[in-house]
Amino acid sequence: MDVKFINPFLNGALEVIRTMAFMEAVAAKPYLKKDDTARGDVSGIIGITGDATGSLAISFSEDCICGIVGSMLGETCSETTKEVLDAAGELTNMISGVARTNLEKMGLQVYAAIPSVVFGKNHTLRHILNSPSIVIPFSTDKGNFFVDVCIRTTDARARSRETYQVVNRRTADLFAPLLPKTAAEPAPGPIVTEAAALNSGSEKGEQEQDAKNRRERLKETLDAMIEDRRNTQKVLSAQPFMSREERKKLNGKIARYDRKIRQLKLDLTALEILSKLSIDDLDSPVIKKNHQNC
């Protein structure tokens, strides 16, 4: 676990709780956690990959998460309902988003998976990395919650080969050792005329241009969405005495912006990855075995 990752998640938790729940959280001294037992009753956990790999868990006491949800919705909440569990997952997502933005300022491009929620007394949390995590305790007027993070920097080789569990190797190369040494010469391929080659090249060029245009449109949409979110956040910050109902509406608007921004970033990342793959890579990918498909 790299200690330089503490501040992005600490600041992310403070910002999200302050903005979404109108509550002030106070951080205590971080400590090393070597067991799998959650420190709270309801936990959201989310995987992180890219230039940094690992996972983040936000574990709330039942009183704390109910108090946060009640403050967000403007109503009394006294038990763990589906809405409370959904809120725990969304808060984990938001804290991860703010932390990832801070990590980007450190020169790290990181991406997050979809959060999962676990609840119950003394439930367990297993991080992706098989190593101790760092826990940052927080206290609020409604109770305590804990940021439990276990992340390390990803080396270049792991980013290019391991992250997506796909190794881009030609199928023929994989089977080459199995072929007899006296294998016959392969049959000649179809004759390609000059006109056909030109048409093929033209179609490929058009497809590449279409993909490029789509990426540009997505980038423009993303930039506009980020600017709209920034302006909405400025309105919230500039009007501290805004009515509770109006603030709730704007917070909901920001949450919707965050979801759309995340989706646009994922779409752009997918297009960038696809643009770097050859036809052979797309036609004959080699799926590397892991604990899920072995």
Closest to 125 in 3D by CA, of 279, 133, 255: 133
pLDDT of 179 higher than 70: no
* pLDDT tops 70 at residue 283: no
Q: Which two tokens stand for residue 41?
A: 């009753």
Over residues 88-113, mean pLDDT: 90
pLDDT value at residue 67: 93
How does residue 285 score in pLDDT terms, banded at 50, 70 and 90? Answer: low
Regarding whether 141 and 268 lie in a shared domain, the answer is: no
Q: Looking at the structure, tell me whether residues 86 and 21 fall in a common domain.
A: yes
Mean pLDDT of 90-108: 90
Of residues 174 and 292, the one with the higher pLDDT is 292
pLDDT band, residue 173 (cuts 50/70/90): very low
**Is residue 184 included in any domain, yes or no?**
no
Give the pLDDT band of residue 180 (cuts 50, 70, 90).
very low
Instruction: Answer yes or no: pTM beyond 0.85.
Output: no
In a shared domain, residues 52 and 152: yes
Per-residue model confidence as pLDDT tens digits over 223-240: 888 888 888 888 877 776
Q: CA–CA separation, 56 vs 79, rounded Å?
A: 24
User: For the CA atoms of the chain, what is the radius of gyration?
Assistant: 24
**60 vs 58: CA distance, rounded Å:** 7
Q: Is residue 251 part of a domain?
A: yes
Would 188 be classed as within a structural domain?
no
Residues 10 and 121 in one domain: yes
The reply to whether 256 falls in a domain is: yes
What percent of the chain clears pLDDT 70, i.e. is strictly above it? Answer: 72
pLDDT at 205 over 70: no
Together in a domain, 142 and 31 = yes
One domain for residues 40 and 131? yes
* Residues 128 and 38 both lie in one domain: yes
Decide: 77 and 70 in contact? Cβ < 8 Å.
Answer: yes
Within this chain, do residues 200 and 150 fall inside the same structural domain, yes or no? no
Per-residue DSSP letters for 75-108? S---S--HHHHHHHHHHHHHHHHHHHHHHHHTT-
Q: Is residue 53 part of a domain?
A: yes
Note the pLDDT of residue 128. Answer: 86
Q: Are residues 204 and 66 in the same domain?
A: no
Q: Which domain holds residue 263?
A: 166-173+193-287
The answer to whether residue 65 scores a pLDDT higher than 90 is yes
Number of H-type helices and E-type strands within the chain: 8, 10
Residues 103 and 197 reside in one and the same domain: no
* Helix pair 6-21, 62-73: axis angle to 10 deg: 50
Kindly state whether residues 7 and 153 are assigned to the same domain: yes
- pLDDT at residue 194 in the model: 52
Average pLDDT along the chain: 78
Q: Is residue 113 part of a domain?
A: yes
98-114 average pLDDT score: 88
Over residues 33-42, the pLDDT tens digits come to 988 889 999 9
Among the listed residues 273, 278, 54, the one whose alpha carbon sits nearest the alpha carbon of residue 160: 273
Greatest pairwise CA separation for the chain in angstroms: 83
CATH of the domain at 11: 3.40.1550.10
Mean pLDDT, residues 199-219 taken together: 69
On the question of pLDDT at 187 being above 80, the answer is no
| Domain closes at, from 157, 184, 211 | 157
13 located within any domain: yes
Q: Among 133, 157, 181, where does a domain finish?
A: 157
Judge whether 292 lies within some domain: no
Least confident of 8-22, 51-65, 130-144, 245-259: 245-259
Question: According to the model, what pLDDT value does residue 182 have?
Answer: 43
Domains in the chain: how many in total?
Answer: 2
Q: Based on the fold, state whether residues 14 and 91 are members of the same structural domain.
A: yes
